[in-house]
Amino acid sequence: MTNLNKYLSMEEQKVMGWFKEYGTPVDRFKNVEQGASTSVYTALAPELDNEMEPAERLWKLSEQMAAVK
């Protein structure tokens, strides 16, 4: 989890499904290593070198989602 949850009460976080009834986090959250693994893999995997088409699609999607263009 990020620190964004600090702006929500525990009740709100429970309603959103982030915590169980007694305040323990649900099992779907990743630890730091798991959260970083996709970024690290895609940054370093030699089989992804020079894969421009997926990179361009991702860039365009990111622009749309961020309402940049």
Mean of pLDDT over the chain = 86
pLDDT of 69 > 80? The answer is: no
pLDDT of 40 reads 93
pLDDT-derived band at 62 (thresholds 50, 70, 90) equals very high
Quote the CA–CA distance of 58 and 42 in Å, as a whole number: 13
The residues spanned by each domain of the chain are 7-65
pLDDT of 1 reads 58
Of the CA atoms within 13 Å of residue 61, those in its CB half-sphere come to: 6
- 3-state SS of the chain? CCHHHHHCCHHHHHHCCCECCCCCECCCCCCHHHHHHHHHHHHHCHHHCCCHHHHHHHHHHHHHHCCCC
pLDDT-derived band at 16 (thresholds 50, 70, 90) equals confident
State the pTM of this model. 0.44
